[in-house]
């Protein structure tokens, strides 16, 4: 399991100029968010739209409420929280139309890089969408992103790098030159005069101590309910 380093707070403001998938009346859009990295399935709109509903090929990590009769310019004004791993990949955005008598239909999909958010702390993004099934560019989802690291994450990263760069301790025999043997001389039977055994010459690795990195980057981190409110 990949270690968690923090959480991404995602404010889903609205969408604009969406594809209209309704033949009569206004469509009822909602937005689904996930990450493309660290074990997530690749984006597969065809599998998502062929009766799989919101589950599809991507794990549903977070979803907004449905903007009833939101049409092609829905508004959500909702903040969601996703756990961030060491390699989250891209933020994947999918917009669906909620149907009453049929499976929810995919309106459009897109993705956006978030590495600048992880470095700078926050950003505003307009994610371009690809309409389904025409695969033409149409519409945007407007997001506000904020990265919130786990407490002490920076110090834990520094401690982990220090542990990895620490040189192993060497046995005292490795710092002393081996005795030279005189050509033709018989090996000495005196134990004190014998050269050290090979086992004595091997570096002795220091015992690995538990660092703060192990405690902070614990697997199975869950975003507490209401943390993004």
Domain-wise residue ranges, the chain: 4-152
| CATH 2.60.40.150 fits domain 4-152 | yes
pLDDT band (50, 70, 90) for residue 229: very low
Greater confidence, 117 or 218?
Answer: 117
DSSP 93-159: EEEEE--SSS--EEEEEEEE--HHHHHHSEEEEEEEEEETTT--EEEEEEEEEEEEEPTTHHHHHHH
- Over residues 61-82, the mean pLDDT reads 95
Please give the sequence-ordered ranges of beta strands (E in DSSP) within the chain, or none if there are none: 4-16, 29-35, 62-63, 75-85, 91-97, 105-112, 122-131, 137-149
Amino acid 5: pLDDT: 83
Amino acid 61: pLDDT: 79
Please say if the pLDDT value at position 26 is more than 90: yes
pLDDT band (50, 70, 90) for residue 110: very high
Query: Token pair 């002795």 is at which residue?
Result: 204
- Show the tokens assigned to 204: 């002795």
Please say if the pLDDT value at position 135 is more than 70: yes
Amino acid 190: pLDDT: 58
């Amino acid at each position: 399991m990949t270690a968690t380093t923090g959480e991404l707070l995602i404010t889903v403001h609205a969408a604009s100029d969406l594809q209209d998938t309704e033949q009569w009346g206004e469509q009822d859009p909602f937005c689904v968010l996930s990450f493309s990295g660290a074990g997530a399935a690749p984006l597969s709109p065809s599998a998502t739209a062929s009766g799989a509903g919101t589950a599809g090929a991507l794990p549903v990590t977070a979803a907004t409420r449905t903007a009833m009769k939101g049409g092609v310019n829905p508004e959500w004004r909702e903040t969601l929280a996703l756990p961030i791993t060491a390699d989250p990949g891209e933020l994947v955005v999918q917009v669906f139309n909620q149907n009453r008598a049929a499976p929810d239909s995919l309106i459009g999909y897109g993705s956006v890089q978030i590495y600048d958010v992880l470095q700078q702390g926050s950003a505003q993004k307009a994610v371009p969408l690809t309409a389904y099934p025409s695969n033409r560019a149409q519409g945007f989802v407007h997001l506000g992103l904020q990265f919130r690291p786990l407490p002490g994450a920076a110090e834990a990263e520094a401690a982990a790098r220090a542990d990895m760069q620490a040189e192993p301790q060497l046995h005292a025999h490795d710092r002393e030159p081996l005795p030279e043997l005189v050509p033709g001389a018989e090996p000495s039977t005196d134990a004190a005069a014998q050269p050290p055994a090979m086992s004595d010459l091997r570096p002795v690795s220091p015992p690995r101590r538990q660092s703060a990195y192990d405690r902070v980057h614990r697997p199975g981190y869950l975003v507490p309910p209401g943390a993004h409110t």
